[in-house]
Amino acid sequence: MKTKCLVLLSGGQDSTTCLFWAKKKFGITETVSFDYGQRHRIELKSAAKIAGLAGVKNSVIVIKEFEAIKYSALLDLKADVSKKHSLNKDLPATFVPGRNILFLTAAAALAYTKGIKNIVIGVSQVDYSGYPDCRGEFIKSMEKSLSLGMEYPLKIHTPLIKLDKKKTVLLAKKLGALDIMKHTHTCYEGANPPCGKCPACLLREKGFKEAGIKDPLKA
């Protein structure tokens, strides 16, 4: 029997790299994306496009929780995404409390219904922008919580956890995932073409520059 996996696909550069990593490692790959009221909702279109081009199924799960918990610049069109968080000055304004915890839980529940025991998420604790839910220690703990809470042995794979953006770009190249990068969306502002100024755009630019590769989005 082929091993199945579910990739969390935001439509960005990292999750797209993970999708290609997963396609190589696992027998059957599916993706899941989240519609959670993000200001850069345009990324859902990127995710659908990328899944289609990669020939995998993409499920979209609607998450409404954040309507009740609006404390992030990523959910507020009027907020400045480059500032610090209004509730915690040690975190960026774009931190959405509980975001990856909810994403992983919803993905795990979907995986449960599909008999999938491998989940892939493109977090990195190198270029993690200060998000606590991108660290390996959290992922390990969450893997345990999900497995216990559903009585279902899940494994969370984080192929990018120790990679900076430069190394992620080089991995994408190695996996043959560079061409498809022109369909990814990174910009926090939801702008197309990207704004080039938000923290996400700047981090992406830095990665491609350091890897010595031209961003296909700009070709």
Residue number with CB closer to its own copies (2 or 90): 90
Within 8 A by CB and 6+ apart from 34, the residues are 8, 10, 60, 61, 62, 63, 103, 106
Among residues 19, 47, 102, 181, the one that binds its own copies under rule CB under 8 A: 102
Tokens of 54: 């990669």
**Candidate list 48, 112, 164, 213; residue touching its own copies; CB under 8 A:** 112
Pairing status of strand 28-35 against strand 155-157 = unpaired
Residue placing its CB nearer to its own copies in the complex, 82 or 145: 145
Cα-flanking dihedrals φ and ψ of residue 61, to 5°? -110, 130
How many angstroms separate the CA atoms of 18 and 71, rounded? 28
Q: Which of 25, 84, 135, 173 binds its own copies (CB under 8 A)?
A: 135
Q: Is 148 in the site for its own copies (CB under 8 A)?
A: yes
Q: In what order do the strands lie in the sheet with 155-157?
A: 57-62, 28-35, 4-8, 118-120, 155-157
Q: How far is the CB of 146 from its own copies (least distance, A)?
A: 7
Of 60 and 179, CB closest to its own copies: 60
Q: Is 49 exposed, middle or buried (CB count within 10 Å of its CB: 0-12, 13-18, 19+)?
A: middle
Residue (38 or 184) nearer to its own copies, CB: 38
- Rule CB under 8 A: is residue 113 a binding residue for its own copies? yes
Q: Is residue 145 at the binding interface for its own copies, with CB under 8 A as the rule?
A: yes
Exactly one of 54, 75, 121, 142 binds its own copies (CB under 8 A); that residue is 142
Q: List for the chain the helix, strand, coil content (%; round to 5).
A: 45, 10, 45
**Contact characters 38-77, its own copies, x per CB under 8 A:** ---------------------xxxxxxxxxxx-x------
Q: Which two tokens stand for residue 202?
A: 């700047």
Site residues (CB under 8 A) for its own copies?
59-69, 71, 87-88, 90-91, 97-98, 100-102, 105-106, 108-110, 112-113, 115, 132-133, 135, 137-138, 141-142, 144-146, 148-152
